Structure 1
Amino acid sequence: MIKAIKGFNDILPEQAAKWLRLEAVLANVLARYGYEHIRLPIVEQTDLFARAIGGATDIVEKEMYSFADKSEPPTPLTLRPEGTAGAVRAVIEHNLLRGDAPKLWYIGPMFRYERPQKGRYRQFHQLGVESFGSTLPDADAELIAMTYLMWQELGLKDEMRLQLNSLGEIDERHAYRDALVTYLTDKQEQLDEDSKRRLTTNPLRILDSKEASTQALLKDAPKLAEFLGDDSIAHFEQVKAYLDELGIHYEINPHLVRGLDYYNKTVFEWVTDKLGSQATVCAGGRYDGLIGQLKSMGSDKPAKSEPGVGFAMGLERLLLLIEAVAPFDEIVACDVFVAAHPDVYSAGVRFAQNLRYDRADLRIKMASATSLKAQMKKADKSGAALTVIIAQQELDEQTISIKNMQTGEQQTVDQKWLSNKENFAI
C-alpha cells in the first residue's frame, strides 16, 4: 500500500477543523492591524534562497528540497523552506513599494529536510507576516504587539515568553563576529562538533548551541551588545520603550541570533515551556538590507534597499500548545441532519437545499438514499443537535418531524420552523 512520505502528514477532517478555527483567529487579528493577504508560490528559483538566507546556513547547506526543471538549460528550483525571501521577491517584481509601504501576510506549507519529530515535519505550515517601508522602531513593536494580541485571543498569553535581542548593523555584527572567532579559536577543541563546523562558516550560530559545554564556554565570550553603535542602541531602546508602554513583558537574550543571514537590529522569539523543552512558536526580526540584496542579483552594482521587518509562526507547534493548555471548544461538523424516507428522498433533498439558502449559519448534512433506519444511525454519529425526519406523512401534511439528538424528544412542526432563528439558533 502506498503511504504518505515520512514527514509529510495528512491533516484529517477532525484536525482540519481546528486548523480552520486557528487560521480564522489569526486572520481576524491581522485584519484589525490593516495587514493584507498575499498568496505566494511554493516553488522558487534556488538562487533566491541561497542569496537571501545565506549559503552557510543549515537550511541552504542541508535542508532544502531542490531539483532541476525540464527547461533547457534546466533551472534549479527549490520548494520554499521559508516565506520571507518569496515575499520580498514578489514585492520587488510587482513594484509594490512604489509610493507605498505594504503590510502583507501569507500562510501555507514550507519544506525542509530534517528529522521529523513532534511538532516539526518536513512539510510544515507557517503564518508569515512582513511589514515594509519603515526604518522606525514602531514597526518592530507593532509586529510584537500583534502577536501578543494573537496569544490573548487564543488563550495563550500566560504560556508565552518574549525574548529580544539586537544584532545591530552588518558592520557591527562583522566586528563582533571577528572577536567571537578569535575568542573561540583557542578553545575549539572544547566545542561540540556542530559548533566546530560553524566556527568557520557561521560563528554567530554557535551562540544558539544547545550543548551545555559550549554554553559554558560562551559565558566569558565577547558580547554582541558591546559592539553596537549609537543608532542601533537607540533603535533597540525605543522598541523596548514601546513594549513597556503596552505592558508587554520581555527578556533580553544575548544569544538570540536567528538562523538566517538577512536579519539586522531587532530579533525576537516567543517561546514556551509547555511543549517539553523550551520551544519557539513564533520568531522574526528586521531585515533592512534584504530588498537591496535581492534587487542586485545578477548585477555587480549594489541596489537601493528598502526596510522590512517580519515574523513567522509555526502552526503545528501552535496547535500542539493550544491542545495542551487552551483546547478549542468541541468543533461540530453538523448542526442539522436531514433524514428522508427513500420513497420521498427527493423532497428531503429539496428541503435541505432550501434550508441552506434560508440559514447560512447552519451546517446541514444528508446521507444517501438508504433506509430511514440506516440514515438515523448516521445522524447519531454526525454530532448534529437536531435531526429532521421526512416521510410520506410529513410530506402530505406539509410538516417535518424534529428529533432532539441529546434528549431524544421528537416533535412535529411546520416546514418553515427551522428557517426562523428564534426557533433554533446555534
Structure 2
Amino acid sequence: MSKVNWLKKVIEARPVRGMRDRLGLDALKHNYICSVGQTVSKLYGFQPISTPILEHASVFERTLGEDSDIIGKELYTFLDKSNEQMTMRPEGTAGVARALLSNNLTNNLPKKWYYHGPMFRHERPQKGRFRQFEQMGVEYFGSRNQLADVEVIDMAATFLRKLGLHDKIELNINTLGDSASRLKYRSVLTDYLSKYKNDLSEDSVRRLSTNPLRILDSKHQKDIPIIADAPILTDYLTSDSQQRFEQMLANLESIDIPYKINSNLVRGLDYYQDTVFEYIYKPSEEDGDDSLGAQQGTVLAGGRYDGLIKLMSGGKSDVPGIGWAAGIDRLAMLLPNEPFENADRPVVIITIQDDDMACNQRIETRAAQIAKTLRTRHDIPTVIQHREDGPKTQRVDKLLSKVLKSSPGTRYVIFLGRDELDHDQNTINYRDLKQRTQSTSSITDVAASIKEQS
C-alpha cells in the first residue's frame, strides 16, 4: 500500500458520529456558560473539582444500576493494555463521589464542589443530544437537612436566571421518599403495572421485575396512558418523608422559587432518593415547540443520593449527598446569538505591503508595537491582518472584506503602510466601520474612543 493510500485509510476527515468540533459562537457560548456557572458556584461557597475522564468501569457499573440505559446500552467501556476494564465517564456524580473516598475526605465534611467537562454516552445522536456532551454540575456532601436541597435548587435557579433563561424554564420536583416509602410503593406499583404487562413497551416489561419505578419515566407511547393512571408515590410516603418534603417545598416558596410537583418524576439512576428535580424548557410561541428537539426539554436535573457513598465504600462510609448537572450544549442552544456575535470585537491592523523590503520590515515592526500597546496597556483585543500578495492587488474594499470574514464583529480597522510610517509615531490612522469615518489620532485617544463605544 502506498504512503498516500495508507494516510487516506488512517485519517478520517470527519468527527466520530455523535461528536463535534466546537467553533465560533458555540465555543463562545460554552465558555460563557462555564464562566457563569463558576461565578454562581462561588456565591454559594462551592469549590472547583476536576476528575478524570477515564475511570475504572466499576465506578459506574456499581452505582448507576444494572437496569439503567446507561449501563445496558450507552457506556464507552474497553480493556486497556493492562487488561483492566475502563470506562469513559457518562456522568459526573459517581466520579466526584469516588474522589471523596479516594482522597479520604469522608471525615472532613461538608464538601461542596462544582465541575464542568465532557461526558460520553453511546446513544442515538439527535438534536440537543450528542455522544460527547458537556455538563456543568455541583455536588454537596455531608448534609441530610432539607435546607441543603433548597440551597442547591436555589443555586440552579440563580444559574439559569443569570443566563437569562428564567422565563423559559419550569422547575418540576418530586420525592422518592426513604427506603421504607419506596419499598411499600414498589409493591403497589408492581401489582398495578403487572395487569398491563402485555400492553407495556419491551423496556418497561423488562424493568417490571428489576426497577418498576423507572417505568414512570418512560416516554414510550404505549406506556404513557398506563402511567397516567398509576398509583402516586407521595400517597405511600412515611410520615418522616412526607414532613421532609412539605418543609422543603415551604422553604422553596419562602424564597420565591416557583415549582410544579410532578409525581412521575423519578430520574434515571439507582442512587437517587427523597428529592428529585428537573428544570424543563418551556418554549414560547416564537421559539417553537422543537427548539431542543423531541424529548430533549430537560436542561438541568438532579436530586438527593444519600446511599451512594455507602454503596461505593461497601458500607464503610455513609455520607449523604445532593447535586445537579446541566447540559451545556442544550443551554447554549437556548442562548441568543447576538450578544456573542458582538462580544470582544477586535481592532484589526492591516499591514499594506510595499515593493521595498526594508519598508515592509518597518511596517511589520510598527504593527507589532501598536498591537502590543493596545493589548497590554489598554486591554483591547487586537488582530494583525498581514498582507502577503503584493501591493498591486491591495484594493481597500478587498482588504476590508477579508477582515470581516476572518474577524467577525470588527468595528475598528487600522491601516498601516508606507504613508502611515511618515506620521508621528504616537498617532495612527484608523477607520470606524460602523460610523463610516476615518481619522488620525493618538493611540491613547483611539483606545479611549474604542472603550467608550464598546
**Count of equivalent residues:** 416
- Equivalent-residue separation in structure 2 for 1:122 and 1:380 (angstroms): 34
1:293-326 superposed Cα distances (whole Å, 9 cap, x missing partner): 1112xxxxx2231110000111111122224xx8
Match in the other structure for 2:420: 394
- Equivalent-residue separation in structure 2 for 1:68 and 1:140 (angstroms): 38
Q: Does 2:67 correspond to 1:49? A: no
| 1:205-354 → structure 2 map (5 Å cutoff) | 205-274=214-283, 276=290, 277=294, 279-296=297-314, 302-323=315-336, 328=339, 330-332=341-343, 334-342=345-353, 343=360, 344-354=363-373
Q: CA deviation at 1:213?
A: 4.2
1:372-415 superposed Cα distances (whole Å, 9 cap, x missing partner): 73654433432322112223343332121011112331111124
Match in the other structure for 2:431: 403
Match in the other structure for 2:78: 67
- Equivalent-residue separation in structure 2 for 1:310 and 1:79 (angstroms): 21
- Equivalent-residue separation in structure 2 for 1:330 and 1:340 (angstroms): 25
1:119–1:317: 8 Å Cα contact kept in structure 2? Answer: yes
- Equivalent-residue separation in structure 2 for 1:421 and 1:96 (angstroms): 53
Q: CA deviation at 1:6?
A: 0.9
- CA change 1:174–1:124 in 2 (3 A) is same
1:209–1:215: 8 Å Cα contact kept in structure 2? Answer: yes
2:177–2:241: 8 Å Cα contact kept in structure 1? Answer: yes
- Equivalent-residue separation in structure 1 for 2:195 and 2:404 (angstroms): 71
TM-score, structure 2 length as denominator? Answer: 0.86
Q: Which amino acid in 2 is paired with 1:410? A: Q
Q: Does 2:410 correspond to 1:384? A: yes
Q: CA deviation at 1:183?
A: 2.2
1:355–1:418: 8 Å Cα contact kept in structure 2? Answer: no
- CA change 1:306–1:359 in 2 (3 A) is same
1:144-200 superposed Cα distances (whole Å, 9 cap, x missing partner): 111111222222112111111111122321232222222222320121222111112
Q: CA deviation at 1:226?
A: 2.6
Name which of structure 1's ranges 207-216 and 77-86 shifts more when overlaid on structure 2. Answer: 207-216
Q: Does 2:32 correspond to 1:21? A: yes
Match in the other structure for 2:49: 38
- CA change 1:84–1:379 in 2 (3 A) is same
Residue 356 of structure 1: which of 375, 390, 393 is its match? 375
Identity %: 39
Q: Which amino acid in 2 is paired with 1:407? A: Q
Q: CA deviation at 1:332?
A: 4.0
Name which of structure 1's ranges 390-399 and 16-25 shifts more when overlaid on structure 2. Answer: 390-399
Match in the other structure for 1:196: 205
1:388–1:403: 8 Å Cα contact kept in structure 2? Answer: yes
- Equivalent-residue separation in structure 1 for 2:417 and 2:444 (angstroms): 16
The alignment's C-alpha RMSD in Å is 2.1
**Unmatched runs of 5 consecutive residues or more in structure 2:** 1-11, 284-288, 354-359
Q: Which amino acid in 2 is paired with 1:340? A: T
- CA change 1:295–1:421 in 2 (3 A) is farther
**Unmatched runs of 5 consecutive residues or more in structure 1:** 297-301
Q: CA deviation at 1:125?
A: 0.9
Q: Does 2:148 correspond to 1:145? A: no
- Helix, strand or coil at the partner of 1:190: coil
1:336–1:364: 8 Å Cα contact kept in structure 2? Answer: yes
- Helix, strand or coil at the partner of 1:56: coil
Q: Which amino acid in 2 is paired with 1:11? A: R
Match in the other structure for 1:101: 110
TM-score, structure 1 length as denominator? Answer: 0.92
Q: Which amino acid in 1 is paired with 2:27? A: A
- Equivalent-residue separation in structure 1 for 2:402 and 2:364 (angstroms): 16
- Equivalent-residue separation in structure 1 for 2:180 and 2:137 (angstroms): 28
- Helix, strand or coil at the partner of 1:211: coil
- Equivalent-residue separation in structure 2 for 1:307 and 1:18 (angstroms): 34
